[in-house]
Structure 1
């Protein structure tokens, strides 16, 4: 039975701007219980797009976006410190112009759980299949939205989730959006810019590693990569303009080699040659996949325990609110003794990157008639815009909209380039890894224009 959300702890307003749906919070996929929160559009719910939103990690909850980016509320830290946050309406919520589903995926992330812990072993392809199964059941529960345009969107490791899921869904999807998304290790990892390292350092590491920063374990290559990491050590990898709320160098991986520099320990790099997959100038999200079937992890680990905060990220407000028993009851999430504590990024997943490069997926989808918006905050060091810019160009499509600026509120907000097959690459000026967290007004504007198929 539908449960219409009419109250949330911390919200003192008299009425929600739109309907907030949750069906006991969960859709069951076999032994897996996937949690979602559905917000109906404030504009034209019967006509506006339905958008599925996924955060990345792998292992990070989509409530990251709900609380800190484009959800219907802004969360104000409670007083005294540690008390329940105060909720205010977010003027730049993406539910202003779309129906949006926030899904915790794969199982084990956020409030999604299974009583069979073997379900916490997951990979790209299984995650896509499970999310597809979720969508089929979800639309059975909400048949009134079947005829709405349907899009999938996400950021970071959702750069893997989106194309693999889109390839599963195929029928009924209009397109997809990927923000600062993981795509391909070579393109994602080979970035040089933003005045973080000198040309001398860049040229030295190029010469020492021969352009191979993933499997080259020669002493000289490792030494020169160490110079890179020393230069960028201490920066907030998710936005180089923002402070680090937690010291990233204090959270060394237990798999790290004590003989390596602290910056390498932070990245979880071991002394085994095949595991030296450091990303040269763009470090990655909090978790990595273990080796399986000869597949070497492409992205290094920054944190292993959910007892530690994600490096540099201030997540106290979300952690306090989502672990409050009254909140969990209100949103129909299972209590902690069933689903476990909510953490921004979990360590209980055993996750495998088994889908390879996303470039063939993107090529198949875009030539198959699906719209794609690839957007990047230009101050992200986690998945730098330079990689996204390079791989979109590498597809070889004809340029239909040459490089130009785009505006919001009368000001230049970034740049874009449009390609054949309805592929757009867009940069948001001054934004970090989670674009809407840093540039909320601008994010809503390009999101609305793209969904409404208006020029950005």
Structure 2
């Protein structure tokens, strides 16, 4: 008995020592001094035989007792984008880089209300494999299993977070990654060998790709006056949305659709940011120090993408993050080099609506939010998808469509569906628009995004009251 206790004590101390020396972040370069929450980063080996490891970053909740807060796994981006670094520095992480290479606190960081875990998946950015074929042939099914392996191994290393309420959130291609992992978790939880199931409580999806027609934005472009009536009419006649998407996913455009694509590109213009209709271009040289701090902390920053790229490519930053341990020579970017389009395109055709339906039928609440200035995944289509889900599951409207508030301002409009009063419990489905929001809502509309996230964690619809009315 004494030997067993001694063994457990030594094992625990060794585990703590390894974590402190290998994964705890003492301080990131340029980080503010008054930071009290824990930060960890490093690698979880998911397949030792293939030399495959996923990079992660963890930011503990800004709370006296972080274990009283839930744990949220962020899965944004996709098969050719960095999820961890974009989420932590560009969207809703605790810090944002500035032009001078320093970090400022993000007053709308999601770790104000939740422990946050970011992971580069499948093999993007800092994640890596020693097997060349791993970079060429990933599908959603394999990615979901890889993410589950990561999660279970991460919980073995960080066991104190194992019993927390668990949420999954993501945007863009996270519309595939998050629901697929959630479904796999529910299936895995039913395995009697797992005595401690993962306590999945809900998923949140921002401007998500949920089925192939999510990629169709021509009508949205016409509605905003970006393309002409002539080109819009020609597109509907010779290469309608369904035809164009099917040909795009096949990797080969017909002559007719190719001509339409060229016309659309010419009318849209090369300087248009398709992720944000109202975004201004970055003119960093004309921005003062005081403006830098304001942009980095209070509003959408047109130069933030550049500053994130400059910051994350610094060797001292990578060392502090315990990242790029393989000595990868490519400069870090928002997308990963070396990916062929075919690897990504075949996954876009997967319809995620059946997976979301199954999650709702398993009493898992779903929040779908959509920035109304996104030209990539139009809010009109996201709203249509939410309505289709509600009709398929015969959900009733629990809260009529109406404005929700971010403080004293209208943050957007929302509607909540459910099956109140019926025998079989179904998770609530909430659809919310974000007024002025872009493709990456937490970056363009950080305050509104945090308000939605808080309501999501509480299991309630977005707030419907204006404080000035009381």
CA distance in 2, matches of 1:54, 1:10: 26
The superposition leaves residues 117-151 of structure 1 with CA deviations (integer Å, 9 ceiling, x where unpaired) of 22213221111110110000011111111111111
The Cα of 1:153 is off from its aligned counterpart by 1.0
The superposition leaves residues 411-437 of structure 1 with CA deviations (integer Å, 9 ceiling, x where unpaired) of 111111111231111111101111011
> Residue 46 of structure 1: SS of its match in structure 2?
helix
> Residue 316 of structure 1: SS of its match in structure 2?
helix
Match of 2:195 in 1: none
User: In the superposition, relative to structure 1, how do residues 218 and 18 fare at CA in structure 2: closer, same or farther (>3 Å)?
Assistant: closer
Match of 2:385 in 1: 391
Structure 1: 5+ residue runs without aligned partners?
A: 79-84, 247-311
The Cα of 1:215 is off from its aligned counterpart by 4.2
Is this contact kept in 2: 1:380–1:433, CA < 8 A? yes
The superposition leaves residues 44-98 of structure 1 with CA deviations (integer Å, 9 ceiling, x where unpaired) of 42122211112214211121121121111121111xxxxxx11121111100000
66, 90, 99: which one aligns with 1:77: 99
User: In the superposition, relative to structure 1, how do residues 220 and 341 fare at CA in structure 2: closer, same or farther (>3 Å)?
Assistant: closer
The Cα of 1:323 is off from its aligned counterpart by 2.1
Pairing of 1:297-376 with structure 2 (within 5 A): 315-335=305-325, 337-338=327-328, 341-350=331-340, 351-352=343-344, 353-354=346-347, 356-376=350-370
- Does 2:154 correspond to 1:138? yes
TM-score with structure 2 length normalisation?
Answer: 0.76
CA distance in 2, matches of 1:106, 1:181: 18
Pairing of 1:206-217 with structure 2 (within 5 A): 206-211=236-241, 212-215=243-246
CA distance in 2, matches of 1:230, 1:77: 32
Is this contact kept in 2: 1:240–1:379, CA < 8 A? yes
217, 228, 237: which one aligns with 2:264: 228
- Does 2:83 correspond to 1:59? no
CA distance in 2, matches of 1:130, 1:182: 20
Is this contact kept in 1: 2:71–2:114, CA < 8 A? yes
The Cα of 1:370 is off from its aligned counterpart by 0.9
User: In the superposition, relative to structure 1, how do residues 220 and 37 fare at CA in structure 2: closer, same or farther (>3 Å)?
Assistant: closer
The Cα of 1:17 is off from its aligned counterpart by 3.4
User: In the superposition, relative to structure 1, how do residues 204 and 382 fare at CA in structure 2: closer, same or farther (>3 Å)?
Assistant: same
User: In the superposition, relative to structure 1, how do residues 336 and 327 fare at CA in structure 2: closer, same or farther (>3 Å)?
Assistant: farther
Is this contact kept in 1: 2:88–2:118, CA < 8 A? yes
The superposition leaves residues 153-188 of structure 1 with CA deviations (integer Å, 9 ceiling, x where unpaired) of 111111111121112111331111111111111244
Is this contact kept in 2: 1:113–1:339, CA < 8 A? no
- Does 2:47 correspond to 1:41? no
Match of 2:14 in 1: none
More helix by share: 2
CA distance in 1, matches of 2:214, 2:33: 49
User: In the superposition, relative to structure 1, how do residues 225 and 115 fare at CA in structure 2: closer, same or farther (>3 Å)?
Assistant: closer
Is this contact kept in 2: 1:187–1:390, CA < 8 A? no
Match of 1:280 in 2: none
CA distance in 2, matches of 1:131, 1:231: 41
Between Structure 1 and Structure 2, whose CA radius of gyration is higher? 2
Match of 1:15 in 2: 34
CA distance in 2, matches of 1:218, 1:110: 33
> Residue 68 of structure 2: SS of its match in structure 1?
coil
CA distance in 2, matches of 1:313, 1:229: 24
The alignment covers a number of residue pairs equal to 381
CA distance in 2, matches of 1:197, 1:429: 22
CA distance in 2, matches of 1:221, 1:346: 28
RMSD: 2.3
CA distance in 2, matches of 1:339, 1:41: 34
The superposition leaves residues 297-341 of structure 1 with CA deviations (integer Å, 9 ceiling, x where unpaired) of xxxxxxxxxxxxxxx986332222222222222121134625854
The Cα of 1:236 is off from its aligned counterpart by 0.6
Match of 2:12 in 1: none
The Cα of 1:405 is off from its aligned counterpart by 0.7
Is this contact kept in 1: 2:78–2:121, CA < 8 A? no
Structure 2: 5+ residue runs without aligned partners?
A: 1-17, 190-197, 248-252, 284-301, 419-426, 463-470
With 327-336 and 43-52 compared, the bigger mean Cα shift is at 327-336
User: In the superposition, relative to structure 1, how do residues 319 and 228 fare at CA in structure 2: closer, same or farther (>3 Å)?
Assistant: closer
User: In the superposition, relative to structure 1, how do residues 244 and 15 fare at CA in structure 2: closer, same or farther (>3 Å)?
Assistant: closer
Pairing of 1:272-311 with structure 2 (within 5 A): none
With 128-137 and 219-228 compared, the bigger mean Cα shift is at 219-228
User: In the superposition, relative to structure 1, how do residues 60 and 404 fare at CA in structure 2: closer, same or farther (>3 Å)?
Assistant: same
CA distance in 2, matches of 1:227, 1:394: 32
Is this contact kept in 1: 2:204–2:456, CA < 8 A? no
Is this contact kept in 1: 2:90–2:304, CA < 8 A? no
CA distance in 1, matches of 2:99, 2:397: 46
Is this contact kept in 1: 2:98–2:304, CA < 8 A? no
The Cα of 1:202 is off from its aligned counterpart by 3.0
Is this contact kept in 2: 1:111–1:340, CA < 8 A? no
The superposition leaves residues 213-232 of structure 1 with CA deviations (integer Å, 9 ceiling, x where unpaired) of 23476655554454433322
Pairing of 1:129-168 with structure 2 (within 5 A): 129-168=145-184
CA distance in 2, matches of 1:443, 1:207: 39
